[in-house]
Amino acid sequence: MSQQKRLTALDTLRGIAIFLVIAFHVSLGFPTTKTIAKVLTIGNIGVQLFFLISAITMCYMWNQRRGETFPIRKFYLRRGFRIAPAFWFAMIFYTAVKLFSPQGLGPIGPWDLLLTGLFLHSFSVHAINLVVPGGWSIGVEMAFYVIFPFLVLKIRSVNYRLLVSFLVYLGCVALTEGAKRLLVGDGVDMFLYYSMLTQLPVFLLGMALYSVVMAKEKVSWKVVVPVVLGWILVAFAGKKLGILSRPFFWIEVFLLGGGIALVILRGWSFKPFEFLGRLSYSVYLFHFAVLDLVVIPLSGRFFHGIPDYLFGLALTTALTSAVAWVSGKTLESWSTSWARKCIGLLDKKTHSPSVPVHNDKS
């Protein structure tokens, strides 16, 4: 199977991830039956699907550019210019909307704005998801990018990545228990779930997945089976002891990993999801605004019940895709261009051109 088919499958998976997220968030503003509302909570796993795909993509891009000069600096430049401008724009937009609302900025203070602007909000109980709706996941992703070069250089084989993932999980559970005793406030439980204390092992598992589905490394079942079974057993044992070990969360993550492997190895793609996947970052940032400012005010005007939800889902997806397409042609295109210019300046120092890679906007 060609590498192009695998990359197309990745775009399709991104599209599925963002559609799951939208489907869940729309359900919060549109009343449905209890059964359907419960089913739609599956959209929560869309973010973990993004994290797994992100780790796979980062590993792929890193290996495609193997041999270029200043690889770590260029990685940070590409990621920074890819993520920061659109996020900062979203931050300004959502802050302005809140500022001119009757409630004003509410609990948002200068410190929250500073932490969010510096992508440090994922380390703050108060600011982690305060300024930009859903912004916690962007903060966590940026934290992963900071340590990714070290991880990809030091932890290379699939078996090693699996073992390290499990060890990091055990460490994160221990740190979570310590944090529970030190932190106070209503948002602590949410913070512990959103933070790297829960999400970091997801990225590491994504790196292991890359080794299998993209790099075609041979995996030892003598490692995989004990690690996965041990992980689940430890998680359930921890839950029984009252520890935040999240067994059902990790079962979902492992199932997602299996699904990702199947889609990529088979080269499956679906054009609508593939299109949505290429726009997924901006769709994620701005679907909250489209939903709250446009779609929910229309709730119940044309349909009722489940048809009203389906109308809201279709309208949110369509309008946000249009906004994301404009963002891609303007802000994101400009920021990508600036990244290339900065990388070009680095190349001039060594007269060594940067290595091109497909899907540079991933």
d(CA 348, CA 37): 56
d(CA 279, CA 238): 39
Asked if residues 65 and 71 have their Cβ atoms less than 8 Å apart, the reply is: yes
d(CA 141, CA 138): 5
CA distances from 101 to 18, 95, 104, 114 (A): 28, 10, 5, 21
Burial code of 108-142, b = ≥16 C-beta within 10 A, e = fewer? beeebbebbeebebbebbbbbbbbbbebbbbbbbb
Q: What is the residue-averaged pLDDT of the chain?
A: 93
**Mean pLDDT throughout 43-49?**
94
Helix H or strand E segment including 254: helix 247-266
Rounded percentage of the chain residues whose pLDDT exceeds 90: 81
Q: Is the pLDDT of residue 354 over 70?
A: no
d(CA 48, CA 206): 10
d(CA 141, CA 130): 16
At residue 262, the pLDDT reads 96
d(CA 317, CA 26): 10
d(CA 267, CA 291): 33
**Mean pLDDT throughout 335-354?**
83
At residue 250, the pLDDT reads 97
- Structure-model confidence comparison of residues 358 and 281, the more confident one: 281
281 band by pLDDT with thresholds 50, 70 and 90:
very high
d(CA 339, CA 76): 10
At residue 351, the pLDDT reads 65
Residue-wise pLDDT for 176-214, tens only, equals 999 999 998 788 999 999 999 999 999 999 999 999 999
At residue 116, the pLDDT reads 98
Q: Which residues contact 319 (CB under 8 A, 6 or more apart)?
A: 290, 294, 295
Q: Which residues contact 167 (CB under 8 A, 6 or more apart)?
A: none
Amino acid at position 160, single letter: Y
Q: Of 35-49, 80-94, 276-290, where does mean pLDDT reach its minimum?
A: 35-49
Q: Which residues contact 352 (CB under 8 A, 6 or more apart)?
A: 68, 69
Residue-wise pLDDT for 283-304, tens only, equals 999 999 999 999 999 887 888 8
What tokens were used for 230?
Answer: 């041990």
Asked if residues 130 and 107 have their Cβ atoms less than 8 Å apart, the reply is: yes
Q: Which residues contact 361 (CB under 8 A, 6 or more apart)?
A: 82, 278, 328, 332, 336
At residue 32, the pLDDT reads 79
Could you count the other beta carbons within 10 Å of the beta carbon of residue 344? Answer: 11
Q: Which residues contact 207 (CB under 8 A, 6 or more apart)?
A: 55, 56, 58, 59, 151, 152, 155, 161
Q: Which residues contact 266 (CB under 8 A, 6 or more apart)?
A: 9
Residue given tokens 């940026």 in the structure block: 142
What tokens were used for 200?
Answer: 């970091």
Domain boundaries, the chain: 3-350
CA distances from 238 to 101, 197, 248, 255 (A): 44, 15, 12, 20
What tokens were used for 297?
Answer: 């005010």
Asked if residues 150 and 203 have their Cβ atoms less than 8 Å apart, the reply is: no
**Mean pLDDT throughout 23-32?**
89
Whole-model pTM: value is 0.94
d(CA 5, CA 322): 26
Q: Which residues contact 263 (CB under 8 A, 6 or more apart)?
A: 9, 12, 13
Residue-wise pLDDT for 297-340, tens only, equals 988 788 888 899 999 999 999 999 999 999 999 999 999 999 99
